[in-house]
């Protein structure tokens, strides 16, 4: 019969001995041993180094819920094995990151919690939470349940990184902008990222033809006036950020049609793509809009999702 031992406590954080000053910000990344998570860790390390922040490596282990509260059906051998495997994984990733970024403050810790919940909890005061996406033919599988759940539940911006994304990719920061007020956090993040990277900001705003009168049914003057009004509304919305980030060069791109194909195309040459999510609902997958999910799965660069 299995010993009725309590679930082991999380491993203590591994902190570099020369880490004497608390960083101004943290970048949290989940690692699970997959190639996708290792790539996400490398990308997160480069971003933490870029912004003078601390990197927080999180490995979550969850055991099946069995029996009743306070009862653990797994004996100490199983628990010790999980602990040793977690420590070995974190040590390996920690060393790989340390070689590339020797002066970066790094913490690594294993927690006994479901992976998505662990990342959401660990990143409540972080600058970003970073997750890797797994390759697949289907959108949901590309993201994986953890990636989707973290992006749906986090209160801080979540970055989804694919294995094809380079850790130090160059190019403009692309912001997908619509008329929804929930995009305010996305605007702030996009301007801050552009300034941090010394990159221009390309604002892509689309009007779905299902919601507006098609240009071919308008006279030339009416079509020009509609575009002018659209551009003026975008410019007005960005005006206060221009004042806060005067060094950021901004290009506004107006397009007719759905946002998804336009933003996917823009992402091919971007360093990051920033979007807000308008999703509603009580199920994790429904907390993100379909456009956000598609961009997270198929964009040509890392995608920053801001839920506000």
Q: How far is CA 250 from CA 35, 136, 273, in A?
A: 35, 35, 14
Tell which residue, 91, 82, 44, 45, has the closest CA to residue 61.
82
> What residue spans define the domains of the chain?
14-132, 173-306
Domains 14-132 and 173-306 share a fold: yes
CA distance 63 to 82: 10
Q: What is the CA radius of gyration of the chain?
A: 22
For domain 14-132, the CATH superfamily is HUPs (3.40.50.620)
Predicted local distance difference test score (pLDDT) of residue 210 = 43
Range of 19-28, 280-289, 298-307 with top mean pLDDT:
298-307
List pLDDT tens digits, range 24-53: 689 999 998 888 899 999 999 999 999 999
Whether 159 contacts 130, CB under 8 Å: yes
CATH class entry, domain 173-306: alpha beta
Q: Which residue has the higher pLDDT, 125 or 211?
A: 125
The whole-angstrom distance between residue 266's C-alpha and the CA centroid of its chain comes to 18
**What band does 181 get if pLDDT is binned at 50, 70 and 90?**
low
> Do 190 and 242 contact (CB within 8 A), yes or no?
no
Smallest CA-to-CA distance from 158 within 28, 25, 299 is with 28
């Amino acid at each position: 019969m299995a010993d009725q031992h309590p679930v082991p406590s999380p491993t203590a954080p591994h902190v570099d001995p020369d880490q004497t000053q608390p960083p101004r910000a943290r970048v949290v990344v989940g690692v699970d041993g997959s190639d996708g998570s290792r790539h996400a860790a490398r990308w997160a390390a480069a971003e933490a180094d870029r912004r003078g922040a601390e990197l927080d490596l999180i490995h979550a282990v969850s055991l099946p819920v069995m029996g009743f509260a306070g009862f653990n059906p797994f004996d100490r051998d199983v628990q010790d094995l999980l602990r040793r495997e977690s420590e070995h994984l974190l040590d390996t990733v920690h060393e790989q990151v340390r070689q590339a970024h020797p002066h970066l403050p790094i913490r690594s810790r294993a927690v006994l919690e479901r992976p998505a919940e662990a990342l959401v909890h660990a990143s409540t005061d972080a600058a970003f939470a970073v997750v890797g996406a797994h390759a697949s033919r289907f959108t949901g599988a590309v993201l994986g349940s953890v990636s989707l759940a973290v992006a749906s539940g986090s209160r801080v911006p979540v970055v989804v990184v694919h294995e094809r994304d380079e850790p130090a990719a160059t190019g403009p920061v692309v912001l997908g902008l619509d008329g929804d007020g929930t995009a305010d956090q996305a605007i702030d993040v996009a301007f801050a990222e552009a300034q941090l990277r010394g990159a221009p900001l390309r604002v892509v705003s689309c009007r779905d033809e299902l919601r507006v009168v098609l240009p071919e049914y308008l006279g030339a003057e009416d079509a020009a006036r509609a575009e002018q009004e659209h551009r003026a509304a975008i410019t007005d919305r960005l005006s206060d950020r221009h004042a806060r980030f005067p060094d950021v060069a901004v290009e506004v791109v107006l397009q007719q049609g759905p946002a998804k194909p336009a933003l996917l195309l823009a992402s091919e040459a971007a360093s990051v793509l920033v979007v807000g999510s308008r999703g509603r609902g009580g199920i994790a997958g429904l907390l993100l809009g379909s456009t956000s999910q598609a961009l997270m799965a198929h964009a040509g660069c890392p995608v920053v999702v801001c839920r506000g």
